[in-house]
Structure 1
Amino acid sequence: MGKTVRRPKAKGGTTMGYHPVSIGIIGMGHVGPHTANSLILQGIADEILVCDANEDKLGAEVQDLNDSTVFAPHRVVVTNCHTDYEKLAQCDVIINSSGQVTLSAISRTGELFKSVDDARLFAGRIAAAGFSGYYVNVTNPCDVVAREIHRLSGLPASHVIGTGTCLDSARLRTVIALKSRLAPESIQAYMVGEHGNSQIAAWSSVSIAGKPLSGLSDDSRFQMDGAEAESLARRGGYIAYNGKQCTEYAIANAATRIVRAIVHDEKVVIAASVELNGEYGESGLFISVPCIIGSDGVEKIIEIDMNAAERQGFAASCEVVRSNYAKLAPFGIEASRTLPITLPKHEGDDRKLD
């Protein structure tokens, strides 16, 4: 895959080695269309290839998005790829936003099984078509689905990134910003662990201008309840969901932020769901920690300082993710690449399937 940054024109007006930025999106329910719109309005993508099994919704979104590109910073073409997932193999980055969020209110395992089954329907097919780019997974449970995409795709772990606690960390920074009356950009703060109820705030590592927040307590605006701030950051998504049965704008922008970091080689530190191999004393799972993201995907995992209670909470969160892995029915890599794909039934699957 070539460099995906925009290049200037050479003398004489010819374009020097330009590589159009091609982004694929799987799932055009709530998050997918908003992510496409964000990619268009921020001028990140040159072409967007979209897939969904709901043909009516997919066709409508493609029409609406293409109409909107008249007002974009530059020309973008949005292409309807139906469920021809192999067409996405040409993309630089594929965003997975498939799934059924309403299942989370009915059955947490139902959402787990639905999301994993969706990934099992496309990851192997795209791999067999020669995909060598990057995945950004939005679909929940984010950590489990990211690991399944990595397993079936055959890509290096650095090429698969879950949005994880990227948004939760932004919420934590917002809580601190409102209390301290500072811009969120001036605050370093991370939620780590599962993208779910077991995530924790790495409160002892929160800093402003390189100074730990705990060292600024002589100023009343920096005196805040860490447990309350953590709770507010964790609950943000539930407030949005309870009011409109989905989350869409913020998570779409979180996914777009990670894509931008990759295609523009930003080398920015973001909390995201990545594979751990000994970091924080954990291995063999995807979970959110701060990491450097650039044109090589996950370029480095940063091990921030955590106190004993935070480390204990992080370890417990890792166990929650592992317990979800254990609920999945075995499914071989070869089976994911052989059509037709036959999905095994998960033990304890309580969905009402047709």
Structure 2
Amino acid sequence: MKISIVGAGRVGTSIAYSLLHRKIANEIVIIDKNYEKAYGEALDLYHGTSLLKRCNIYAGNFQDLKNSDIVIITAGAAQKVGETRLDLTKRNYEIIKEISKEIKKCANESIIINVTNPVDVLTYFLWKELDFPKNKVIGTGTILDTARFRALVSKQCGVSPASVHAYIVGEHGDSELMVWSSATIGGVNIKDFCKVCNRKNCRNLRDIFEETKNAAYTIIEKKGATNFAIGVVTAQLVESIFKDEKKVLTPSTYIDGIFIGFPAIVGKNGIERIIPIEMDEFEISLFENSKNIIRKQIEEIEL
């Protein structure tokens, strides 16, 4: 498998590092406008391959996108002091447009994964610019948010994260929501599980959701950026495609004319099927609100 990563920042290199440990790539090319940075990162990663799976890792240019099975986009501008979220989104949109032109020329058969934020909005524009089938353009969506919530719940409840089946859906942002109606631990509704749990001094699960929603702000305040967990999440997404695992994840996928985080089966063809999880009326209203927020952001860019 050949994987191209556009962007040699913290996120791009964390993804490359996680992919190495998944042992699924034969070739990884890192592309960045700062070639020397990409070269240094690729060389550093390559030196570890003798202890992992053999993999040719190198810095390249857009022509090296050719024959990529998957192209991962992490390139984006950092927010400037005094810059609004809309201003930043517009700048990242221009970056996405330029990358799309190169993908169309060199990698028009690839599956595309977008990580750059705001991920739902930019994944939509990436799809529009590429004119690829909807199933082959994927954003990381709320996969990370869901993983964070499961990790925190597993720690509190004393169970494996693999036994926590709960989804955070919607915008990867402040309007995301926890689908309590479908959340279970070991097949037991999460609320019922808490009633029979004998652990003491447990936090309210809704407080854990709020911690999950604000996790990025906390991490950025402490260390400047989030990168390791999104690296693991993106590598898992790639592995599910490569191995045709058909895992149910919550990528940003096409629903009602936009891209938004929602449970979907991910396999060799990209997004294979949306999973119609149960939501109560309140959760549906929150999800519709999240859709409208994404639509508004798209409209602001299109003006």
TM-score interval (norm. to shorter): over 0.9
Deviations 1:38-84 (A, max 9, x none): 11122011100111111231121122112222221x21111221xx3
How many angstroms apart in 2 are the aligned matches of 1:113 and 1:147? Answer: 13
How many angstroms apart in 2 are the aligned matches of 1:107 and 1:263? Answer: 38
Please name the residue that 2:228 is paired with.
249
Counterpart selection for 1:93 from 70, 77, 88:
70
What secondary structure, in the 3-state scheme, does the structure 2 residue paired with 1:90 have? Answer: coil
Counterpart selection for 1:55 from 32, 35, 60:
35
How many angstroms apart in 2 are the aligned matches of 1:104 and 1:98? Answer: 19
In structure 2, the CA distance between the partners of 1:104 and 1:247, relative to structure 1 (3 Å rule), is farther
Counterpart selection for 2:141 from 146, 164, 170:
164
Q: What TM-score, normalized to structure 2? A: 0.94
How many angstroms apart in 2 are the aligned matches of 1:323 and 1:113? Answer: 13
Residue type at the aligned position of 1:235: N
Counterpart selection for 1:313 from 286, 294, 297:
286
Please name the residue that 1:131 is paired with.
108
Residue type at the aligned position of 1:308: E
1:40-51 matched pairs, under 5 angstroms: 40-51=20-31
Q: In the comparison of the two structures, how many residue pairs are matched?
A: 301
Q: In the alignment, does 2:207 pair up with 1:228?
A: yes
Deviations 1:240-299 (A, max 9, x none): 1111211110001111110000011000000110001xxxxxx10000001000001101
Please name the residue that 2:51 is paired with.
71
Residue type at the aligned position of 1:213: I
Q: In the alignment, does 2:4 pair up with 1:24?
A: yes
**Percent identity at matched positions?**
30
Please name the residue that 2:195 is paired with.
218
Decide whether the 8 Å contact of 1:163 with 1:273 is kept in 2: yes
Q: Which moved more, 1:58-67 or 1:26-35?
A: 58-67
Counterpart selection for 1:273 from 245, 252, 265:
252
Q: Which moved more, 1:256-265 or 1:112-121?
A: 112-121
Decide whether the 8 Å contact of 2:22 with 2:239 is kept in 1: no
Q: What TM-score, normalized to structure 1? A: 0.81
How many angstroms apart in 1 are the aligned matches of 2:25 and 2:13? Answer: 14
Superposed displacement of residue 103, structure 1: 4.4
Residue type at the aligned position of 1:54: N
Please name the residue that 2:98 is paired with.
121
List gaps (5 residues or longer) in structure 1: 1-20, 277-282, 330-346, 348-354
In structure 2, the CA distance between the partners of 1:210 and 1:27, relative to structure 1 (3 Å rule), is same
Residue type at the aligned position of 2:85: R
Please name the residue that 1:287 is paired with.
260
Superposed displacement of residue 100, structure 1: 2.6
Q: In the alignment, does 2:185 pair up with 1:240?
A: no
Q: Which moved more, 1:45-54 or 1:56-65?
A: 56-65
Superposed displacement of residue 184, structure 1: 0.6
What secondary structure, in the 3-state scheme, does the structure 2 residue paired with 1:256 have? Answer: helix
Decide whether the 8 Å contact of 2:153 with 2:205 is kept in 1: no
Please name the residue that 2:177 is paired with.
200
Deviations 1:125-149 (A, max 9, x none): 2213352120111110000111111
Please name the residue that 1:325 is paired with.
298
Q: Quick check: which one's helix share is greater?
A: 2
In structure 2, the CA distance between the partners of 1:132 and 1:235, relative to structure 1 (3 Å rule), is same
Greater Rg by CA = 1
How many angstroms apart in 2 are the aligned matches of 1:105 and 1:302? Answer: 40
